Each structure stands twice: as C-alpha cells, then as structure tokens.
Structure 1
Amino acid sequence: MSREYMRPVLQPSARFDWRIGADEPGAVSRLAQETSWALLDRVRSVADPAVVERVVGLAAGDEGIDDIAELWAREGEHSLAGVLWRLYLLRRAVAADAAGSADLFRRGIVAAETIDPVVAGATDPVTPESISLLCETILRGAFLGDMGAALDRAASYCRVMSLGSADLADARDILDDEHAAHLTSRALRYSTMAHELHAGARRWRDGTLA
C-alpha cells in the first residue's frame, strides 16, 4: 500500500497561504520525506492517545506548527509531507476562524451538486464546533485510519469550501470589491487543494506517495 516508514521525528501555520524558502531544496525535500514518514510511523506504531492528541493538536496552536511549516510547506501532493501539510492547513484555517469556515461550508453545501458534502462528512446543522471537529477528525483519520479515505474526505471538504467562498464572493461583489477578490482567490486555493489532495489519495493507494 505504501512504502517502508523511515526514522527521525518533528512537530507542525498560522496562514492558509504560507510559503517557506530554502537554500537547498533537495536536502530539505529529503528531510521533509523522512520526518513525515517517521511521524506517521510513530503515531501508528505507538498508538498512544497522548501522542495522537499532541500531533493532531499542533494545528490548533502556535507551538510546533512553525517547525512543520519550515520543513513541509513547499512539498507537493506527490509526497506524504505535502498532503499532511495540507491537512494541517485546513485544520489551522478553521482554528483561526471557525465561524467564518462554518459559514463558507454551509454556503458550499447549498451550492454543491455532487455528493462532496456527504463524502466530507457534513453534519446538520453546520456550526463552528462541528466544522472544527470535522477537520480534526479528517486529520486524525490520516494518522490512525485509512490515509486514502482521509485525503478523499479532505478533497471533498475543499470543494465544498471552494463553492462557499465563490458564493460569498458573489454576494460581496457589489458591496466590497476587495473582499470579493480575496474570497475569489480563496475559492481558487481551495479548489487547487482539492485536486492536490485527490491526487495524494490516488498516490497513497498505488504506493507512489514519496
């Protein structure tokens, strides 16, 4: 299903749009691969609830997330580090604005013409608490459950959020051009991330995730 786990360890941003530079991309990429597989290996082999809570909880706070960002933020959907980073970003975005995220998700559900809300695991009603729990459950599932299923759920979540962002952008267009443009950009980022996470799920299943 996936490759042999490797060794080292680490800990995991404040922003949905984070970008980090590196002087030696090759070395940083190798380290990103090693640390992501080592972290996954540790969580799955130890299965200690305290370890799981610490790893999943990193996305909700500031401590540790900067370290993960520095190593994983540039990695693409072809790598475990890249897809895990995207899951942390989704959880982090909700932690930063649960009410706003819930509003976008509700709008996206109304606009959706697919089963994405069901795949993502939408609850009724969608509240700030339920959307936070949803993203946490997806992240937890990546470490403890079926990685492919977790990535597919995250991809569906992103598609719903993209639709919600676009819907709110339309509503804000005549009132606030700048805010509408920001929301349109956010819709595009969510859509792009959906494609990336879906590709990551496919790679996990065929054993080509780096």
Structure 2
Amino acid sequence: MAADYHRPTRFPPGMFEAYQGAADPAQVSRVAHDTAAALLARVRENPDPEIVERLVSYTDSHGIDTIAELWAQASPKSLPGALWRLYLLRTLIRQDPRGIALAFQRGSEVSHTIDQVVAGAAIPTGPDEVRELADTILHGVFAGDFAVALERASAFCRVTSAGFADLADDADVSDAVHPDRPTEYTRRALRLTELADEFTACARLWRHDSLD
C-alpha cells in the first residue's frame, strides 16, 4: 500500500536518525519496534491533549510516507504494524470520505452484525462522520483503550468491506465510463477484510500483553 502514496518523506529534526542507513532487515525491524514502543509508551504515560492531537493529524502535514518508511514493513501482528495500519486507514478515509461513507452506510444496511455499533460512527454516516470516526479511533490509541481502538477499527473495516462488496454487485460492468468499478470495489472490500482481521488479531495480542 505504501507504493500508492508519493508525498515526500519529511522527518522531524532529531527523530528517526536510527532508521537512516539501516541496511539490513533485522535493523529495520528493530528500529520499527523500538520507535513504536517508545512513542506509545511516552504519549500514553502523559497523554497531553495537544501532543495527542498532533500525532492524530501527523500525516496531514507530513504525508503517509513518513509513517510507511518506518513501520510499513513490520509484521501485521506487531505494534508498529498495527500503528501503520491505523494511520493507513485514516489516510484512506480522508482521501475518499464520500466513497468510504457510502460503502459504510451500505454495509450498515446489508450487514446483520453489531459491527456498526462497535465502530461507533454517527448515523446517518456521511463524509464528515467517517473523518471524525477515523480521528476518534486514532485518538483512542494514544489516550484510551488501545484494544478497543483496534476493535473499533476492525468493525469499521468489516462494515465498509460489506458495503463495497454490495456496491460491486450493483455496479454495471457494461458502464463505458467506469468499466473497472466492480473490480475496484471488490479489491477494496478484500483489502478492508484483511485489515479487519489484522486489527482483531492485534487487539487480542494487546489484551494478552503480547503485542510488541
């Protein structure tokens, strides 16, 4: 997914020096785990609202590549992998809030689970509501119950995936203007299902003090 984003990477002064020049995968992995653990521990120990807000909106100013360079290669079932996926989900929502809101609303209509309740999005769910939910989930990572934040992200992904799958079924493959729309919707549904499973696994590990 990191290859989809091309904003220039800008590291804040004095941060992430250890990453630069990390040639071997083992070193990259160590830096990813160390920075994720240090960042989370420091903020959760003293969740200053201003700092938390800056972290939530970090990619708005610096781009997703900054996070991708550091954490995207980490295992999905790891702390840096979980943080990367949470930032990625927020970015995907902010890039297409209308499309994501439409899929979430459709998923809420066709899904017969409590996932929409767990996700906690406002009803009806429009672009503003999904953007707000993304920020709320990430805020919970730094100043709330980390496992609950992961579970909310997972539930949101499942509902939205169901919505994209249903939209793919409705899409007209003969549409000359958007002939690839069913394939695109299906691809999004599959990726969101993967994200949901990864968030659920990470939440379970966190609750057992095994997410590192």
Q: TM-score, normalised on structure 2?
A: 0.85
- Specify the code of the residue in structure 1 equivalent to 2:202: G
Equivalent position to 2:184, from 178, 182, 185: 182
Cα-to-partner distance string for 1:9-52 (whole Å, 9 max, x where unaligned) = xxxx7948xxxxx8522111111001111111221123222211
Cα-to-partner distance string for 1:153-201 (whole Å, 9 max, x where unaligned) = 1110000111111111112143344121111111000001100100000
Contact 2:157 2:192 in 1 (8 A): yes
C-alpha distance in 1 between matches for 2:3 and 2:211: 26
C-alpha distance in 1 between matches for 2:77 and 2:169: 33
Contact 2:120 2:133 in 1 (8 A): yes
C-alpha distance in 2 between matches for 1:79 and 1:116: 23
Q: Which stretches of structure 1, 4 residues or more, deviate above 2 A after TM superposition? A: 13-16, 173-177
| Structure 1: segments with no counterpart, 5+ residues | 1-12, 17-21
| Structure 2: segments with no counterpart, 5+ residues | 6-21
2:84: which partner in 1? 85
Aligned residues: 192
Q: Which has the larger radius of gyration?
A: 2
Q: TM-score, normalised on structure 1?
A: 0.86
C-alpha distance in 2 between matches for 1:117 and 1:209: 26
Residue 145 of structure 1: CA displacement?
A: 0.6
Residue 97 of structure 1: CA displacement?
A: 1.3
Q: CA RMSD in A?
A: 1.8
Contact 2:64 2:91 in 1 (8 A): no
- Specify the code of the residue in structure 2 equivalent to 1:32: A
- Specify the code of the residue in structure 1 equivalent to 2:95: A
Residue 96 of structure 1: CA displacement?
A: 0.9
Question: Structure 1 residues 79-88 or 63-72, which shifts more?
Answer: 63-72
Q: How does 1:33-182 map to 2 (within 5 A)?
A: 33-59=33-59, 61-63=60-62, 65-174=64-173, 175=175, 176-182=178-184
- Between the aligned residues of both structures, percent identity stands at 48
